[in-house]
Structures are given as C-alpha cells and as structure tokens.
Amino acid sequence: MKPMVRRLFYLQKKVLMFQVVFIVMSVTFGDQFLANDGLFALIIPTIVYMAVIFPEQLDESAHYGWVLNSLPATRREIVDAKYLSALLLYVVIVLCVTISHYVFVLLGAIQNQVENLLNGMVSSFLIVGILVGVSIPITIKMAYSKGRIVNIILFITIFNVVNFIKPFLSESISGNIRWLLVWLVIGLLVGSRQFSMKEYLKKEF
C-alpha cells in the first residue's frame, strides 16, 4: 500500500508545484471572502481535486494500468490508495494553507484572518469528500477521458452550490448538523470505495 500511495503523491506533487503560486496568491492577497469562506470552501478543494484527478489523466494517457496491475500489488490496494492518498493530501494541504495563512497574518501581510477555523475545515472536508467520493468511481467505471465531462460538470456544480450556500457552510452550521454532514460524507466515501472496488476488481486491461 505504501508504494502505491507514494506513487500517487509523487504524481500529485507535479500538479501541486504548478499550484504553489496560486496557493500563495490566494492566501496572501485573498479578500474577505477568500479569507473567511473561499480559502477552505474553494481553494483547498480545488487544489485537492486537481491533484487527485491528475494521476488518473497520466495513467490513462500512458496506459499505465498495464504496468500498475503487473506490479506486486493487489487491485484492492490500488483502489484503497486512491482514497487514502486523497485524504492524506487533503490533510497536508489544509495544514500547509492554514499554517501559511497564519504566518502571513503574523507578518501582517493579510488583514483578514480566518474567523472560524473548525467550520472552514469541516466545509472543505465536506466538499473534498463529495468531489473525491463521486469522481473516483466515475473515473474507474468510465475511464478518465470518458468521465472527464461528468467530472467537469461535478466540479462546476459543486462550486456553484458552495457559493450559493456558503453562509450556511461557514456561519450557520450548528454543532449537530455539522457532524451529521461529516458522517454523511464519510458514508458517501465508504460507499464510493465499495463501488470503486467492485468495478476495479472486474476491470480488464
């Protein structure tokens, strides 16, 4: 499992390097919206989503499935690594963005400090969970190129919905509803993993 996650991280790193400028600019020069809602509800999920989808694109263009499934690893490990690396990546990005945000605040480069960190993290987890939970099985079932349109629609829809309900996400989520939503997204991820596993186990290369 470890080499599989490491492989995904290595490939994701290629995308993240392109996004460093984007991350720094967002964190440094973001306005009130970016600081309060956008940082967690838009920036982090965008980075995670792009980084998660990039290896799928690379794998398909190289037909890497042949290599991957010829290596000493099981198909279960291949699927699990997709989810695990996405979640680990989410944690790493949240840490990086949050730390750099507070560093810039301390340096006086940012005036608008994030007000409710926990709400922000929950918001970003919910969005990342939905994006990952839907896009991974779609990519496994349809292959990246065929699932690309669905993924783009999903991406745009989620962010429009988030923009629409962002006050609800970052301000009005009371404790119980917040955790209920978290559990619902965890449920979605578990179901998504089951579906992906079933599809990947019967996949032929």
Partner 1 sequence: MDTILQIDELHKKMGKFQLSDLSFRLDAGYIMGFIGPNGSGKTSTIKLIMNLIKKDKGSIMVFGQDMENNEKQIKDRIGFVYDQCNYYDTLKIRDNAKLVAPFYSRWDWSVFEDYLKRFELDPNQKVMALSKGMKVKFQLAIALSHDAELLIMDEPTSGLDPIFRSELLGILKEYIEGGRRSVLFSTHITADLEKSADFITFIHNGKMVFSMEKDEVLSSYAIVKGGLDVLDEGLKRELIGVRKYRFGFEGMTRNPSYILEQYKESILLEKATLEEVMLYVAGGNV
What distance in Å separates the CA atoms of residue 155 and residue 138, rounded to the nearest whole number? 13
Q: Give percent helix, percent strand, percent coil of the chain, each to the nearest 5.
A: 85, 0, 15
What distance in Å separates the CA atoms of residue 60 and residue 64, rounded to the nearest whole number? 6
What distance in Å separates the CA atoms of residue 140 and residue 131, rounded to the nearest whole number? 14
Instruction: Choose the stretch contacting partner 1; rule: CB under 8 A; options: 67-75, 81-89, 116-124, 145-153.
Output: 67-75
Residue number, 54 or 125, with CB nearest to partner 1: 54
Residue number, 88 or 181, with CB nearest to partner 1: 88
Phi, psi dihedral angles at 101 (to 5 degrees): -60, -50
What distance in Å separates the CA atoms of residue 67 and residue 114, rounded to the nearest whole number? 44
Told to check if 69 binds partner 1 by CB under 8 A, we report yes
Told to check if 71 binds partner 1 by CB under 8 A, we report yes
Residues numbered 74-103 forming contacts with partner 1, rule: CB under 8 A: 74
Told to check if 73 binds partner 1 by CB under 8 A, we report yes
Told to check if 167 binds partner 1 by CB under 8 A, we report no
Binding site for partner 1 (CB under 8 A): 2-4, 6-7, 10, 58, 61-67, 69-74, 202, 204-205
